[in-house]
Structure formats: structure tokens, C-alpha cells
A and B are shown apart, each in its own frame.
Chain A
Amino acid sequence: MAKPKLALIPASQGSELFSVLPSSGVGDFDFSRSGAATRINSQGLIEEVEDGVSRLNYPMIDGKVVGCPHHILEPQRTNLITYSEDASQWINVNTTISQDDVISPDGTLNADKFEFTGNGSIRPNTSQLTFTNDYSFSIFIKKGNARYVTLAARFFTSPLAVGFDLDTGTSQSGGIIENYGNDWYKLSLSNNVTGDTDRTGVFYVYLPSSLGAESSVSGNNAYVWGAQVEEGSYPTSYIKSNSGSTTTRSAETANGSGDASTFNDSEGVLMAEISALADDSSYRSISINNGSTSNYVQIGFDSSGSNKIFGNIRPSGSSFSVPTNNILNFNKILIKYKINDCSLWINGFEVGTDLNGVVSSGLNQLSFDTGGVAKWYGKAKQLQYYNSALTDSELEQISSWTSFTDMAQGQLYTIE
């Protein structure tokens, strides 16, 4: 009978990730994070979440919250900007700043207006910043009278400039533009500077007359809030850093769900509806394990290539690695384990089988990692664990979208 033994359905924030099954609470995950973080709340506003509290994050499509929330787990990042919400503290050229001029994406009157009085720029970082390999620059911009915005990263031998069009909500290659509603967009770019001469750079914002130009037109204006520069190959959620020093959000962990009586060593099914933070070929695992890195049943994102999903059973069992369309969308992934009968399913389709499979032993917890390594960062919309192998019909049903709306929202499609 297809009733899960353990089910995590994100619906609460707190010191744990709360599982609805088992009803005793033994399925709750121990959660940790040092430092505050932000989330998108049910009103679509960016909201700060206290140190040690898990985050319930709502998906947005075209600037509006659509569908049910997910838990978001992110790696450690530091916002290197020291006044992320106060443009008057930045290094600005030929610019007039009007502080606290409009409502920002956090819903309060704390976003600044900037207007150029000549060919100028605004620069959130007041000193040069040095990176080991990768950086990401992100900033929230609301249109004033200028259509185009250019973000530029000036490095000695690896400069990068990307143009954004606020009328069409599009960007040049290398940029990401996300609609946060009320005409606010999060603009971002990332780059690798491993080969740069000194890997030290500065970050500019321009309001040009044409897409991608690194200049500003006198009289052009826009609104700005939430500047962030971080070491990493993709931008993460906004870290408020507005008190004159850099601010760090530590890596988030969630583990210790269930116990030995929850999991069946001989057979079972683990299902997760998840999406990645970036297609960066990092090894990110969710697993049933025994606390070690030798006995586990795991699923997640693979390090062997772009948009790959994997399933593994150890100490010596099955290994699956399967490409999918886009790991940035929510995918329903499922692994079935049973002696000589293991399989991997994605979005209702069986994508891998192993009729010579063996199983793990001593399974006693479900974790967003595997024995403390291969830590999982991403967005989780649900987890389910069944302590029997289930039929193919049941596996298809559990890993399928339950409605067209469910599927469309999972893929962040707009339905018109």
C-alpha cells in the first residue's frame, strides 16, 4: 500500500525541518545555520530569517508568488558589500542619490534613487575585492526613466560587462534577470577569474543609451537596493549587509531524520521533488544512510556533467547517472532498492534498472548529505520514504506530476 513511512512537506520554519510522517516527529530533520538569511515570503517580499531558523521559500513567476513553498538550503557565502542597502555610502561618479525614495523588495521604504548628472556610474564596493576563483555580483534595480542597465566587473585581464533590458526583462549572455514584482528586477552576473593577473576587481552599475554600453546618460535614473558581491560561481539569496562590514551566512545542514525502525534495509523507496541552485556539476546528495560514507541509498545531482541526476546504493550496489532537461526546474526523482531489483525514476519514467543489485545495511537516518559529505544545497518541495519496494505502477504514480498545473509550476512556466 502506497503510504509513506516518512514524509517531509515544507510548511513551517523553525529549528528543524518538520516532517508530517511519522506523526511522532521522529522524522524531523535537525537544522543548522549560523547567521541570518533571507527568503521570499508568501507575499513575495524578501524577508530576513533569524540565525538557526530554516527557510520556507516561495517560488515566483513573473513577479508573483505561484504555488507552494519549498525548503531552501544554501552553501556558505559572504556578502562583501558593507552597505548593501545604502547607495549614499558607495563610490558614485556624476550621480545624485535620493535615500529611501521608494518601497524596496523587502516591502519597506528603504530603496534609493540614483540619477546621473553626467557620464557616471555607481559602485557598491568601496574597496577593491580579491577572489580565489569565481565571483557573483547581484543587485536589485527598479526602472526609473532608463530602459537599459549595465553591470560591469572590472578586472585586470578578465573584465565582464552585461546589459539588461528592463522593458523586456531580458539580458545579454552571461547575465540573469529575475522579476521580483512591483517593477523590481534582480540582475546578476558571475565569472571565473582564476586566470586573471591579480584576481582583484571592482563592480559598477551604468544606465546607458544602448544595451551593454559601459557609460551613463545624464538625466537617466533608476532605483537600487540590495547589492551583493560574493565568492562563488552563482549568486545565492540576498544577504543583508548594511552595517559597515561584510556579512556571512554559513552553510545550512539538515540531517538526522528517522531512526533504525523507520527504514527497511532490505527494500524501500526514496522520492524527492527537488531543484538545484545552479547547474555547476557539483555532487549534491540526499540519502538514507547509517551515518557513514559506506552504507547508503542516495539520490541527487551528479558531478559527472551538466544537468545530470544520479542514484546510488552502497556498499556495492547499483549506480545510475542520467541526464535530464534542466536541474534548475523541480524534478521528481525516485530510487527503489531491493535485492536484484533496483531502479531509478524521474518524472514518472523509469530511467535505469539493475537486476543484480544489492542493498545497504544499518540504515538509520535520512539526511541532506551522505555521512557528512556530498552535502545537498538546493530547493526541496517534498521528500517521501516507503519501507517497501512498491509496484511499477505505484512508482510511476509517486514520481509523476499530479496535474498540469503541478507540472507547469514545477517547471516555472507561465500559464496564460
Chain B
Amino acid sequence: MANEIYDSSWWGNTIDTASSIGTSTEMIQGQFNINDRQEVEAVKCLADSIHRIGIQDIQN
């Protein structure tokens, strides 16, 4: 079920990603704010990249 939300929903993406990248709130805010400026087409790609950067942040 989680994967379905992750793949298809903007809000689901953000919620799913947020739980993994902990304190990096600016990235979550950045994800929301892009969608305010322009509709995001590659939703999952954006969320995956933010997730990767977030993991990288935690690891270091």
C-alpha cells in the first residue's frame, strides 16, 4: 500500500519521504514550494532525489 501512495500521489510522496529524512525540513518545504510555482510532472523522480539527498545528509 505504501508503494502505491508513493508512486501516484503528490501528498503521499511527500509524507512517505518525510518519514525517512528526518530533520531536513527545508527539502520537504522545497518540494511543496516547487509545486506552488509550477506543477510538478516528474513527481516520483523529485521525491526520490530528495530522499537520496536526505539519506546522504543523515549519513554524514
Residues of A within 8 A of B (CB): 1-4, 7, 9-14, 16, 18-25, 28, 42, 56, 68-69, 382, 384, 391, 393-394, 397-398, 402
Contacts and interface: CB of A to CB of B under 8 A. Distances in A.
Interface string B35-47: 0011111110110
B59 A397 contact: yes
Nearest to B47: A11
Contacts of A56: 41-42
A20 B30 contact: yes
Contacts of A23: 26-27, 29-30, 32-33
B56 A9 contact: no
Majority-rule SS of A interface residues: loop
Given A2-B56, A7-B53, A21 B26 contact: yes
A183 B26 CA distance: 45
Interface in B5-51: 24, 26-27, 29-34, 37-43, 45-46, 48-50
Given A2-B60, A20-B46, A11 B41 contact: yes
A1 B45 contact: no
Interface of B: 24, 26-27, 29-34, 37-43, 45-46, 48-50, 52-53, 56-57, 59-60
Contact of A11 (B24, B26, B46): B46
Contacts of A3: 24, 26-27, 53, 56-57
A394 B60 contact: yes
Given A9-B45, A23-B30, A23-B33, A18 B53 contact: no
Contacts of B41: 11-13, 42, 56, 69
Contacts of A20: 27, 30-31, 34, 46, 49-50
23 contacts: A1-B57, A3-B26, A3-B56, A7-B30, A9-B49, A11-B41, A11-B42, A14-B37, A18-B34, A18-B37, A19-B30, A19-B34, A20-B27, A20-B31, A20-B46, A20-B49, A21-B30, A23-B33, A42-B41, A68-B48, A69-B45, A391-B60, A397-B59
Contacts of A393: 60
Nearest to A20: B30
A1 B59 CA distance: 9
Contacts of B49: 7, 9, 20, 68, 382
A10 B49 CA distance: 10
Given A9-B49, A20-B31, A382-B49, A69 B57 contact: no
Contacts, number: 89
Contacts of B60: 1-2, 391, 393-394, 397
Given A22-B26, A402-B52, 20 more contacts: A2-B60, A3-B27, A3-B56, A4-B53, A7-B30, A9-B50, A11-B34, A11-B40, A11-B43, A16-B38, A18-B37, A25-B33, A42-B42, A56-B42, A68-B42, A68-B48, A69-B41, A69-B45, A397-B56, A397-B59
Contacts of B40: 11-12
Contacts of A394: 60
B11 to A, nearest CB: 16
Contacts of B27: 3, 20-21, 23
Nearest to B52: A402
Nearest to A17: B38
A2 B21 CA distance: 13
A398 to B, nearest CB: 7
Given A10-B42, A20-B31, A25 B37 contact: yes
Q: Which 6 residue pairs are nearest across A and B when measured between Cβ atoms?
A: A68-B45, A23-B30, A11-B46, A20-B30, A23-B29, A11-B42
A12 B40 CA distance: 5
Select the residue from A11, A23, A28, A384 with max chain B CB neighbours within 10 A. Answer: A11
B36 to A, nearest CB: 9
Contacts of B32: 23
Contacts of B33: 23-25
A398 B48 CA distance: 15
A184 to B, nearest CB: 23
Given A68-B45, A397-B56, A18 B50 contact: no
A239 B38 CA distance: 25
Contacts of A397: 56, 59-60
